[in-house]
Amino acid sequence: MRMTRRELMAGFLTAAAGGGSVHAAERTVALAEVTKPGDVFQVELQLVLAGRLKIDREDKPEQLPIEAKAKHRYRERVDHSAKPVAARHYVEAVSESTIAGERSVKKLAEDRRGIFIYRNADGPLPVAPTGPLAREELELVAEHFDSLALANLLPGREISIGDTWSIANDVVQSVCHFDGLIEAGLNGRLVSASDKRAILAIEGSAEGVEQGAKVKVSIAARGEFDREKSVIDRLEWTQTDAREAGPVSPAMDAKVSINLTRSREDVAGKELEAVLQKRPTGPKPPDLWTQLRHVDSKGYELVYGREWHIVVRNDKHLVMRLLDRGEYVAQATFATWKPSAGADEKAVLAEFVEATRKTPGWMPEKVLENGPMTVGEGRSVYRLCARGKQDGVEVIQAFHLLIGGDRHLAIATVCDVRQAEKLGTRDVALVAAVEMTAKK
């Protein structure tokens, strides 16, 4: 039967009104991810950052331009009811940054591409079953957008188009990488929906603390939800950061753009299966997995706790700072030390003690420890610990001379006297962990 022009126009208008949108009788959309233990996802993340670092150079404020980009591709097996909560194999994890024209590149080592994710009170805890990560590797696997938090961006219930919901505080803390949350005002909104997909917006602001620095963020994001597979499969996340200076990082203003794609997979794949074969038993990872490793070109290496942060690394020295739940506790400085040619062990120690007295700004008042430390074979450590004033501040300062063969390494640790209890013996453990190696 031939349709009239009026019938054709009526049919066109009906189709245009429907436009793939939710049927008029369907007033709500179920926005909840349906996952089961053992589900596997393929995730790809791309990040672009542009901003300025704010530093004081010779007591003058200065701003340094910073640009960065990163790319991550990994397959992830999820089981939120177990520990660890996820296992990952990173096909790619690389970041590139340029600060004031100086470029640096970080890549995940081949033998550290398998990662288990635990959750504790402080958030996600990534560990490698092949051994301690380097600090740069930890940053690559710990500081990208938390794909495990995606499901929690949804309301988890039926919701009408145009309605909003609040994002829980622990989810805000996770996606913003805060160590502690001060204030959160992040909300989701169902923008539109069709029979197969739903579009949602995440908007708002939050304030928290990361590595001892206060951070304010403003977020505007757009997500796509696959209604047939019950999964967020696309996310465009834009975030502006206003970061104050902290004990291990400078102040920074930046704009960050993140693009995420995600799909549910039928199989884990051989690389992820190989990671799963190393899955530990018990609720906690082995202690060694939670440590970090540092290999220095000057001929030493150490395995240390994540509470120590490297803040300076150059040809002259390595500087680390200890944070306790974001609070600055102590500093450790590593540098090679050369005694006089031909000096015997007694003379070497005498020269070292004299050198400590000449430390700029240091006025010792009371010696607390003076003598050898117990360490492993192949090296010896002399420790001189005293209470005094450093640049007028009352501190406890310990000087260590580590001797391995014909090489000497000086390690100085210092903390405010009010932080001595929090420091405890962690400086001793740091020094005892140093191993002398061949120079690179």
The three-class DSSP label of residue 331 is strand
Tens digit of each residue's pLDDT (9 = 90 or more) over 114-141: 999 998 877 899 999 999 999 999 999 9
Provide the terminal-to-terminal Cα distance of the chain, rounded to the nearest Å. 86
Query: Could you tell me the pLDDT band of residue 282, with boundaries at 50, 70 and 90?
Result: confident
Chain-wide mean pLDDT for the chain?
Answer: 91
Domain count within the chain:
2
Q: Are residues 346 and 423 in the same domain?
A: yes
Q: Among 237, 267, 287, where does a domain finish?
A: 287
Q: Are residues 243 and 261 in the same domain?
A: yes
What domain range includes position 353? Answer: 291-436
**Backbone phi, psi, residue 3, to 5°:** -85, 140
Q: Are residues 89 and 188 in the same domain?
A: yes
Tens digit of each residue's pLDDT (9 = 90 or more) over 2-60: 444 334 333 433 333 333 445 434 578 999 998 899 999 999 999 999 999 999 887 88
CA distances from 440 to 111, 295, 296, 298 (A): 20, 9, 8, 7
- CA angle 204/210/211 to nearest 5° reads 175
Q: What is the pLDDT of residue 439?
A: 67
Q: Are residues 282 and 314 in the same domain?
A: no
Please give the model's pTM, rounded to 2 decimal places.
Answer: 0.89
Strands 133-134 and 292-296: parallel
Q: Are residues 108 and 251 in the same domain?
A: yes
Q: Among 287, 304, 334, where does a domain finish?
A: 287
